[in-house]
Amino acid sequence: MVVLTILVAALAFVIGSLLYVYKYRGKARFDSFNEYVRKGWPIFSPLNCLLYMFTEKRASKPIMDVRQFPELKNIQDNWQTIKKEVMNLHEKGYFEMTKKPDAGSYYDLGFRTFYKYGWSKFYLKWYGYTHTSAQTLCPETVKILKTASLVNGAMFSILPPGSQLTRHLDPVACSLRYHLGLSTPNDDKCYIDVDTETYSWRDGDALLFDETYLHFVRNDSDKYRLILMCDVERPMSFPGKFVNFIYKGLMRFTVVPNTEVDKRGLVNTIFSSLSPIFQKTKTLKQTNRPLYLTIKYTVNLTLIVLLVTILAASIQALHSAYTYLVL
């Protein structure tokens, strides 16, 4: 009976979470449920909502006051040192190398769809792993990042002139997103819109926002935008920290290499192996749509069942922990 109650509660929470993110969270809305399914990562909505519930007030909005996160100040204070290293990477063509289809860095499950817009990146660290290539090519930046314990992941990001990143949201809420302008157009024509709030990058200025709100980027200027992009620890109370510990553990499997000297995460390895199958699936979408839809919804349903199981286990663990502390 207890197990059944937990499963029912978990299912109700899953449905409520999906509805909340789709219909009520923030000011920006999905144009349709189909857009939510394609760009909203609904599979992660329940776990994300658990984190939203326990997030501190200073981080419970689309764009935050970075001054309320003093642990990040040293990074901003050293922006010119960081800029020298990213400009060296840019001049030597590393941003072009990391998006070549024959490179391990190409198979980035979280950011791969941005390559078609000219966007690229160079990882510095990612949830417990500091990239060997970054330690060699960007030693000062790596040292500076070590002074900020809140930083879970970091990369350099480039967006060419005349490009854009269409409206989307990031899948997991375990961190907040930090941007530090390094070499930007310093122009309002280059901006990000986060839940209808607009921010234009400037050299040496920092932005902190919740990337699980709908957002989009445009660079309508004639200059490149180069920034430092970090995943920053989401400040939460204890129950949230417990769930986030599990979440961040999963993120360790998503490490993407810059070059051959770097470690490859399990997800990167699997994704690169399955890439040929994904290409065939895209072809199937055009030649046999009924079969394509059958496969698609079978996979999605399997993921939902898996998520409900994980959520039920998390609720049971939280209940057990609470009972233990009370007794």
The three-state secondary structure class of 160 is: coil
pLDDT grade, residue 163 (50/70/90)? Answer: very high
Query: Mean pLDDT over all residues of the chain?
Result: 87
Which pLDDT score is estimated for 96?
92
Q: What is the pLDDT of residues 50-67, one digit of tens each?
A: 999 999 999 999 999 999
Extract the tokens encoding 76: 């901003």
* pTM for the model: 0.85
β-bridge partners, 230: 154, 178
Which pLDDT score is estimated for 2?
65
For domain 63-237+248-254, give the CATH number. Answer: 2.60.120.330
DSSP 108-133: -TTTGGGGGGT-EEEEEEETTEE-HH
Domain-wise residue ranges, the chain: 2-56+266-326, 63-237+248-254
The three-state secondary structure class of 249 is: helix
Which pLDDT score is estimated for 182?
98
Using CA atoms, how far residue 184 sits from 96, 210, 295, in Å, is: 18, 21, 43
pLDDT at 92 over 60: yes
Element (H, E) at 176: strand 175-183
With contact defined as beta carbons under 8 Å apart, do 250 and 175 qualify?
Answer: no
Which pLDDT score is estimated for 22?
93
With contact defined as beta carbons under 8 Å apart, do 198 and 215 qualify?
Answer: no
Residue keyed to tokens 């490490």: 255
Q: What is the pLDDT of residues 229-288, one digit of tens each?
A: 999 999 999 888 888 988 888 889 889 999 999 998 887 777 666 666 666 666 766 777
With contact defined as beta carbons under 8 Å apart, do 288 and 128 qualify?
Answer: no
Top pLDDT among 222 and 317 is at: 222
Which pLDDT score is estimated for 225?
98
pLDDT grade, residue 87 (50/70/90)? Answer: very high
